[in-house]
Amino acid sequence: MNNGDGKRLNGEAEEEDEDDLDGEGREAWERTYTDERSWESLQEDESGLLCPVDDKILHHAQYRRRLRSLSSTTTASRIQKGLIRYLYIVIDLSKAAAEMDFKPSRMAVVAKHVEAFVREFFDQNPLSQISLVTIKDGVAHCLTDLGGSPESHVKALMGKLESSGDSSLQNALDLVHGYLTQIPSYGHREVLILYSALSTCDPGDIMHTIQKCKNAKIRCSVIGLSAEIFICKHICQETGGLYSIALDESHFKELILEHAPPPPAIAEFAIASLIKMGFPQRAAENVISICVCHKEAKGGGYTCPRCKARVCELPAECRICGLTLVSSPHLARSYHHLFPIMPFEDVAPTQHKLPKTCFGCQQSLLSSGSRTTLSVTCPKCRRCFCFDCDIYIHESLHNCPGCESLRHSKSVNTAEA
């Protein structure tokens, strides 16, 4: 900043004055207004009244750009995703986590979003497991063991929210490395470090530990809450992870949720293999038997197809014969990653023969007032949808209602082409 001002000072003195006003002469709250210039996007209608800013179209355009960039990367190669993940979430609870630049404090914000993340993670990766690790007083502790139940993780974390001492990346990585080398070879080993501190206090050579993690195919990602640190960047580069710095709370939320969808599978990271699994049937509510997990007699529950033991919840490992038990809906939850629907295309408003309503929700596409609302169309079935349906279809439903309600969608497609 100083350098730039200095240079301009030589040329034009007036410019310098303005710069000074813009940069330093104003308070931070004033500057946000100067930067955004929100008044410029205001529009007047015919009678001179101010219209509310319609940022829906803008939002939608941003959303579609993101969608397209995502789909271009996935369709380029055959879709292979690491769907069975073993993730260690390392939470830094050193003194730096008590700082209040995030309100009310860094660790409270971290805990809040880890909770949301854990739920989202299990929604998207039903067969994966999470474990929580905390760093406090320079020592890493395993808070919860690898497990598939979101409730237990969240509960354990909420009970342990205190910060003290220094932070140590090496201790955390060593601990996680020790655990992750024991998991089956088909699983994807991942570490997500939520780092508040600006330094690391290590007992030995951290480079050595990073090499060990790299050799063990552990993908380490870091989300920083303060400033960028070289060692974190180095860890992520070496192990193929992502390094990002949160600007504020909403940005942090965005960054952490980016880790919820399964990452692209890297062939060398996990060896593909066939895993033997059982699909138990759910017993009727009035059939009472003793379960192997709690040793209580109750109705319902699932029966292991190999040894006929009764377990209460799925997914689980049978305590008697060791068979992995899942239900088919668990597997089906991740199938939309394999068969993604294509992004919809924009429809020019001038085009004729536009249908009057959105195919999905029957909302009128004809617009409120004089302007025509834009719509999008599925490249396969050519049905038109409104923006809201477009987002819902791609974010949550993962089905195109148009394509699904056509029996001969394939033959129609070839006939058109």
Partner 1 sequence: MASAPSKLYADDVSLLVVLLDTNPFFWSSSPLPFSKFISHVLAFLNTTLRLHQLNQVVVIATGYNCCDYIYDSSSATNQSSGTGMMPAFCSNLLEKLDKFVTRDEQLEKGGQEGGIASSLLSGSLSMALCYIQRIFRSGPLHPHPRILCLHGSPDGPEQYVAIMNAIFSAQRSMVPIDSCYIGAQNSAFLQQASYITGGVYLKPQILDGLFQYLSTVYATDLHSRGSLQLPKSVGVDFRASCFCHKRTIDMGYICSVCLSIFCMHHKKCSTCGSVFGQAQSDVASTSNKRKTPDT
Residues of this chain that interact with partner 1 (CB under 8 A) are 78-84, 123, 127, 184-187, 265, 267, 270-285, 302, 305-306, 323, 326-329, 331-336, 338-339, 358-363, 388-389, 392-393, 396-401, 404-408, 411
Buried-exposed string 1-32: b where 16+ CB fall within 10 A, e elsewhere: eeeeeeeeeeeeeeebeebeeeeeeeeeeeee
Q: Is the separation of the CB atoms in 337 and 261 below 8 Å?
A: yes
Distance in Å, CB of 303 to partner 1, minimum = 9
Q: How far is the CB of 389 from partner 1 (least distance, A)?
A: 5
Tokens of 57: 């179209």
Sequence-separated (6 or more) residues with CB below 8 Å from residue 283? 289, 299, 300, 301, 302, 303, 310
Q: Could you tell me if 194 and 90 are in contact, meaning their C-beta atoms sit under 8 angstroms apart?
A: yes
Give the nearer residue to partner 1 in terms of CB position, either 343 or 401: 401
Q: What is d(CA 261, CA 370) in angstroms, rounded to the nearest whole number?
A: 41
Q: What is the DSSP string of 93-159?
A: -SGGGG-SSSSS-HHHHHHHHHHHHHHHHHHH-TT-EEEEEEEETTEEEEEEEEES-HHHHHHHHHT
Nearest approach in angstroms of CB 325 to partner 1 is: 10
Q: Which is nearer to partner 1, 107 or 400 (CB)?
A: 400
Nearer to partner 1 (CB atom), residue 240 or residue 305: 305
- With respect to partner 1, which residue has the nearer C-beta, 241 or 401? 401
Provide, rounded to whole angstroms, the least separation between the CB of residue 376 and partner 1.
13
User: Which CB, 78 or 353, lies closer to partner 1?
Assistant: 78
In this structure, are residues 95 and 164 in contact, taking their beta carbons and an 8 Å threshold? Answer: yes
Cβ-based nearer residue to partner 1, 6 or 299: 299
24 three-state secondary structure:
coil
> Judged by CB, which is closer to partner 1: 26, or 336?
336
Q: How far is the CB of 369 from partner 1 (least distance, A)?
A: 15
Closest distance between partner 1 and the C-beta of residue 4, in Å? Answer: 47
CB of 127 to partner 1, least distance (A): 7
Instruction: Decide: 163 and 94 in contact? Cβ < 8 Å.
Output: yes
Rounded least distance, CB 80 to partner 1, Å: 5
CB atoms within 10 A of CB 258: 14
Q: Are 304 and 320 in contact (CB under 8 A)?
A: yes
- Shortest Cβ 403–partner 1 spacing (Å): 8
Torsion angle, CA of 319/320/322/323, rounded to 10 degrees? Answer: -100
Minimum CB distance to partner 1 smaller for 187 or for 241: 187
- Output the smallest distance, CB 78 to partner 1, in A: 5
CA distance 176 to 387: 44
* Of 156 and 283, CB closest to partner 1: 283
Q: For partner 1, give the closer residue by CB, 331 or 354.
A: 331
* Residue 147, beta-bridge partner list: 130
Name which of 63 and 392 has its Cβ closer to partner 1.
Answer: 392
Q: How far is the CB of 385 from partner 1 (least distance, A)?
A: 8
Q: What is the rounded CA–CA span in Å between residue 298 and residue 310?
A: 10
Cis peptide before 315 (omega within 30 of 0): yes
Q: Are 354 and 364 in contact (CB under 8 A)?
A: no
